[in-house]
Structure 1
Amino acid sequence: MTNRKYLTASEIERLLDVSRQGSNPERDYCLIRMCFIHGCRVSEINSWLLSDIDLTHNRIFIRRLKNGLSTIHPLYELERDALTAWLNVRARHRHTAKEWLFLSQKGNRLSRQRIYDILRDCGRRAGLDVNAHPHMLRHACGYALADKGMDTRLIQDYLGHRNIQHTVLYTATNAQRFLRAW
């Protein structure tokens, strides 16, 4: 197993594929997709409330921890579809009065440890060469945004970093930024 701190795009796709084959496929798929797309820490994603989501305007409030800058992100089509599927399943259970977005089978807030377990299990089933954990999705988000050519300051805002030094690692190793140098 490698000590790499992020997941590649193909590894994330493999995680998403196997998440659809577990005991809570809609929840787990939605959780992994949204954690990656929004670059969330595990405590940020397990703290999401139903009231943080605005499906009418396709946006979600991201409450950053560790003194990060909270912001509103758009909801993209694939995650909106995943979110809708999870909310439909969630609504069929008797514990729908809970305000947390991601619930356990018993209807409680999904714990940090359970989210780690979900990622580790999906990583094993996907045959990944790394021990997948939620923070790898946050780093994968930063690298994916850099690969798309997003400006460092925009990545900083997107991930909620107060200090740009926490953001430059995503762009410093990106060879794409040199393509137009000559």
Structure 2
Amino acid sequence: MNHAASHQVTDLRPATESRTVRTRVANDELRGRQHLTRDEVHRLIKAAKKRRHGARDALMIRVAFEHGLRVSELVALQWQHLGLRHGHTINVQRAKGSLDGTHPFQGETVRALKRYQVATQRGYGFIFVNERGAPVSIEGFRKMLGRLSQRVLGLPWHPHALRHACGVHLINNGTDIRTVQQYQGHANIQNTVAYTALSGRQFERLAF
């Protein structure tokens, strides 16, 4: 038996997944953080509007940020999850064991969704679709955001940075930790506490 080989650790993930994880880690190290700022998100939204599918892409970025969505949750959104006529709410269907919830929409988001609905003439099924009417894929959104952020911000960002951006933004705005936990759908509050470390807001009153 080759003893050297017996001590090797085998990576059982698919090659593409392994490359994606390594690239994400490398880019996180270059950026020095894993979350986008609110200003950076709005720069991406503004730039996305100039693309071929600008209304859709900008809206996807906005909704992912404002509601702390994972990319899988974003692409799975359907019109029946929204209340655009009464209450202006979104029924967030969480993944990975997180808790579902109902969020209010921001005014500009409601207006953007209504414009997009009129333009696409769709009021049922998946919200974000391609030219063939099929839902935008996880990989499709990931590639779009990566290319866009590379051009606008100088480095490619991954979709989960939008979810992190939401959590950090809420903490920075003084939202209490339990509310952030519920909004993000965290079953374990320790996942929410991590945002306070990213924010640094809890240290603002310290004096030296």
With over 3 angstroms needed to count, the CA separation of the structure-2 counterparts of 1:121 and 1:173, relative to structure 1, is: closer
With over 3 angstroms needed to count, the CA separation of the structure-2 counterparts of 1:107 and 1:173, relative to structure 1, is: closer
- Secondary structure in 2 matching 1:14: helix
Match of 1:78 among 83, 100, 108: 108
Whether the 8 Å CA contact 1:16–1:32 is kept in 2: the answer is yes
Q: Does 1:7 align with 2:32?
A: no
The runs of at least 4 aligned residues of structure 1 exceeding 2 Å deviation read 172-182
Deviations 1:34-56, CA, capped at 9 Å, x for gaps: 00000000000111111000012
Q: Report the AA paired with residue 68 of structure 2.
A: G
Unmatched segments (≥5 aa) in structure 1:
none
Superposition deviation, residue 180 in structure 1: 5.0
Q: Report the AA paired with residue 133 of structure 2.
A: G
With over 3 angstroms needed to count, the CA separation of the structure-2 counterparts of 1:148 and 1:31, relative to structure 1, is: same
C-alpha distance in 2 between matches for 1:30 and 1:72: 19
Match of 2:164 among 133, 139, 146: 139
| Higher RCO structure, 1 or 2 (CA under 8 Å, sep 6+) | 1
Alignment: residue pair count? 177
Number of the residue aligned with 1:117: 143
What is the aligned-residue identity percentage? Answer: 33
- Secondary structure in 2 matching 1:171: helix
Superposition deviation, residue 130 in structure 1: 3.1
Q: Report the AA paired with residue 158 of structure 1.
A: Y
With over 3 angstroms needed to count, the CA separation of the structure-2 counterparts of 1:54 and 1:98, relative to structure 1, is: closer
Match of 1:45 among 49, 70, 74: 74
Whether the 8 Å CA contact 2:167–2:195 is kept in 1: the answer is yes
C-alpha distance in 2 between matches for 1:110 and 1:29: 13
- Aligned 1:15-164 pairs, distance under 5 A: 15-55=44-84, 56-91=86-121, 96=122, 99-126=125-152, 128-164=153-189
Superposition deviation, residue 74 in structure 1: 0.3
Q: Report the AA paired with residue 118 of structure 1.
A: M
Q: Does 1:170 align with 2:195?
A: yes
Whether the 8 Å CA contact 2:71–2:160 is kept in 1: the answer is yes
C-alpha distance in 1 between matches for 2:204 and 2:123: 52
Superposition deviation, residue 105 in structure 1: 1.4
- Secondary structure in 2 matching 1:60: strand
**Greater displacement, 60-69 / 78-87:** 78-87
Question: Normalization by structure 1: what TM-score?
Answer: 0.91
Superposition deviation, residue 176 in structure 1: 2.7
Q: Report the AA paired with residue 16 of structure 1.
A: I
Deviations 1:120-150, CA, capped at 9 Å, x for gaps: 1221231x13321210000000100000011
Larger radius of gyration: 2
